[in-house]
């Protein structure tokens, strides 16, 4: 799926990273409006800790949520907002 805006214009920041959860926040300047979305990744109790994978998943979910907000679509995923 193609994003409605270039990925390089979206700013992604890791807000929190722990053993189980990683929270990423993506923001995009749309004219005078700033759109902000968050993505969360959580590690299963049976998986080995992998901080790089957690950042990758959380960032991807944040970008996907940002795209949905940009398009005005409803976000139905519990780990995106």
pLDDT value, residue 80:
82
Please give the residue that has the higher pLDDT: either 48 or 25: 25
Q: Which pLDDT tens digit goes with each residue over 53-70?
A: 999 999 999 999 998 888
What kind and span of H or E run contains 37?
Answer: strand 33-42
Is residue 53 within a helix (H) or strand (E), and if so which, with residue range?
helix 51-71
Cα atoms in the Cβ-side hemisphere of radius 13 Å centred on 81:
5
pLDDT confidence of residue 38: 94
The radius of gyration of the chain's CA atoms, rounded to the nearest angstrom, is 13
pLDDT of residue 25: 96
* pTM, two decimal places: 0.86
Domains of the chain: 7-71 (3.30.160.240)
Sheet strand arrangement including 33-42? 11-17, 21-30, 33-42
């Amino acid at each position: 799926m193609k994003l409605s805006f270039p990925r390089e214009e979206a700013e992604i920041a890791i807000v929190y990273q722990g053993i189980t959860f990683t929270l990423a926040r993506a923001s995009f300047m749309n004219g005078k409006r700033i759109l902000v979305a968050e993505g969360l990744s959580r590690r299963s109790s049976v998986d080995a800790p992998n901080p790089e994978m957690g950042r990758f998943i959380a960032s991807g979910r944040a970008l996907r949520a940002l795209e949905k907000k940009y398009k005005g679509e409803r976000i139905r995923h519990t780990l995106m907002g």
